[in-house]
Structure 1
Amino acid sequence: MTDLTEDEKKQDELYREEGRLLFAGEATFMKGAVAIDGLPPIETVEIAFAGRSNVGKSSLVNALTGRKTLAKVSNTPGRTQELNFFRIGTRLTMVDMPGYGFAEAPEAKVRAWTRLVLDYLRGRTNLGRVYVLIDSRHGVKNTDTPVLDLLDKTAVSYQVVLTKWDQVKKGDRETRLDEVRAALARRPAAYPEIIVTSSKEGEGLADLKAAIVRLIAERA
């Protein structure tokens, strides 16, 4: 990351404080949608979390909001089978998308999830960014590539968030970051900055909150 000017540092501090306050406030589950006609009304800036099954999407939603059970967490891959909407304060809606890459899911169900996600990405005008969660222990895998291709094709801005960072040895971290940067280098819709997180340890959560608040400000 490049060095920040004094003004940029002050702005970053403001975003971090705004992010802390936003996610410390009210957070509620709105609804789960299994079809495009079941989506809630467009009212706020929306962000979505995408990722392979068991990458830690629900855990991250809970960690961001400081609530243990806002999003359902399961050790069973593929449990999230709908678009789950959460209202954060009055300025933000978060969406937990169905996990992908779970080979044992019925083919018909996978097709339905894929169609729902594609329709959502193409038609949700208030969608500010998709945060693509990547398990930092493994990096970008073949199962991630079709989703990144889809986001590039639909011109939906996305940013990679590495999860479970606490489980990567310190000596391997820079190599893993370099690998992910290389995988994203020529992708037109990818936001260049990678955020590393640990839902368990809390690492990187302030960075992610600040990035989300910055996005809200940019779309105001």
Structure 2
Amino acid sequence: MTEPTDTDDFAEAGRKLFAGAADFVWAASRIDNLPPMEGVEIAFAGRSNVGKSSLVNALTGRRTLARTSHTPGRTQELNFFDIGGRLRLVDMPGYGFAAAGKEKVEAWTRLIHAYLRGRANLARVYVLIDARHGLKANDAGVLDGLDTAAVSYQIVLTKADELKGGALERRVGETEEAIRRRPAAFPAVQPTSSRTGLGIPELRASIARLLAERGEAP
């Protein structure tokens, strides 16, 4: 099959990728309970209640593939989803939710860091940032860890529909400037809205392009 070569091709490849089957396949609460490293994985990380599960559902066009909740800290495991037999998508526990209890937060943090450091088939981490608030100190700590581990990541702004006028453009610009010198950061910041669909096709296309770069032609 011919590999996509331009923006339109990747947009169509991304649409087809996420239009197929999407299934929950594994949940891991400990590093010794991870599934075998098979195929290409991408992971979604972010502060608690930033909208990771909602974005997974929006990407796949399913309302309940990933559990969503208005209660921060609901996702307490690494949840693995198979996308059309070609990609594994990992919904990670949110970070920075102190109300969950110090011991539990520390356990989640160790799990997240161990996964990020030791997963050879992890192609990219999409770090979700609430567009209304921008990068915070605990986000910067996660980015520092990804830079140190040389794990490729891209910033995805969630809830972007809630910024009006030129506020979103300014947020994108300041975020791109903040990561400009970070060695593992993908330079482009992607604004999204799970509610309106803003940026969802572009994010699908970005993931399709990543697959092609890893030798997984659609």
TM-score category by the smaller chain?
A: over 0.9
Is the partner of 2:138 in helix, strand or coil? coil
Match of residue 53 from structure 1: 48
Deviates more, 1:173-182 or 1:24-33: 173-182
Distance apart, 1:171 and its partner CA: 2.3
Is the partner of 1:42 in helix, strand or coil? coil
Deviates more, 1:102-111 or 1:54-63: 102-111
Match of 2:193 among 195, 198, 219: 198
Deviations along 1:50-101, one digit per CA (max 9) or x if unpaired, are 0000100000000000110000000000111110000000110000011011
Match of residue 77 from structure 1: 72
C-alpha RMSD over aligned residues: 1.1
- How many residues matched? 212
Distance apart, 1:170 and its partner CA: 2.0
Is the partner of 2:6 in helix, strand or coil? helix
Match of residue 87 from structure 1: 82
Residue 143 (structure 2) pairs with residue 148 (structure 1): yes
Unaligned runs of 5+ in 1: 1-8
Unaligned runs of 5+ in 2: none
Superposition TM-score, scaled by structure 2 size: 0.95
Q: Which amino acid aligns with 1:166?
A: D
Distance apart, 1:114 and its partner CA: 1.1
The list of structure 1 runs, each at least 4 consecutive aligned residues, that deviate by more than 4 angstroms after superposition, is: none
Match of residue 34 from structure 1: 29
Distance in 2 of aligned mates of 1:171 and 1:154: 35
Tell whether the 8 Å contact from 2:98 to 2:105 is kept in structure 1 after alignment. no
Distance apart, 1:212 and its partner CA: 0.4
Distance in 2 of aligned mates of 1:101 and 1:183: 20
Deviations along 1:23-53, one digit per CA (max 9) or x if unpaired, are 0100000111001121112221100000000
Superposition TM-score, scaled by structure 1 size: 0.94
